[in-house]
Amino acid sequence: MLDDFTKASAADANTDTDAQRAHDAIVWRAYVARHDAAALAGLFRNAILTLAAPHYDAAQRAAWAAVADDLDAFDARLARGVTLVADHAGEPVAFGQLFPRDHVEMLYVAPGWTRRGLASALIARFEALARAARASTLDTDASALARPVFERAGFSLVAEEIVRRGSVSLPRFHLCKPLGAASFSG
């Protein structure tokens, strides 16, 4: 089933002569341990330091981005569960991770690639994988930046939380989406 989510979609495979469409083609693939870590660590840092600026101060962003400083540990973290990468012209432009089978652990898009549906596409892929694994819910601990993307995908706020990175506090939001007939709404 993972292969279904790393192959190009039918629309991606369509041989359109439009040069812009070819330029914007995204290739979905699985994470390659020990090969992708450095590029994804850079994407991770750039996304946090740039895109999260309206929501988190410089100290918060630096503490959060420092998670990728230990490249071996970051690689080991990415190798858990299912990590999907969106490539354009051989370079990663987004990635996300489902770990365990019912939790979106990571979701990051490169600063120049926002507002193109990549985060939503990753969430949809992870939801399909969670459903295939018979998970009853899909949850995440989202940043203030990612929260609206998850809410548009049908996730609901469960709790606001504070996490510590060294001496720095970062707000995050625990969100959940029921995958069966159950609903969290009243």
For the chain, the average pLDDT equals: 88
Q: Which domains does the chain have, with CATH numbers?
A: 2-178 (3.40.630.30)
Show the 3-state SS of the chain: CHHHHHCCCHHHHCCCCCHHHHHCCCEEEECCCCCCHHHHHHHHHHHHHHHCCCCCCHHHHHHHHHHHCCHHHHHHHHHCCEEEEEEECCEEEEEEEECCCCEEEEEEECHHHCCCCHHHHHHHHHHHHHHHCCCCEEEEEECCCCHHHHHHCCCEEEEEEEEEECCEEEEEEEEEEECCCCCCCC
* Residue 19 in this model has a pLDDT that exceeds 80: no
pLDDT digits (tens, 9 = 90+) for 40-88: 999 999 999 999 999 999 999 999 999 999 999 999 999 999 999 999 9
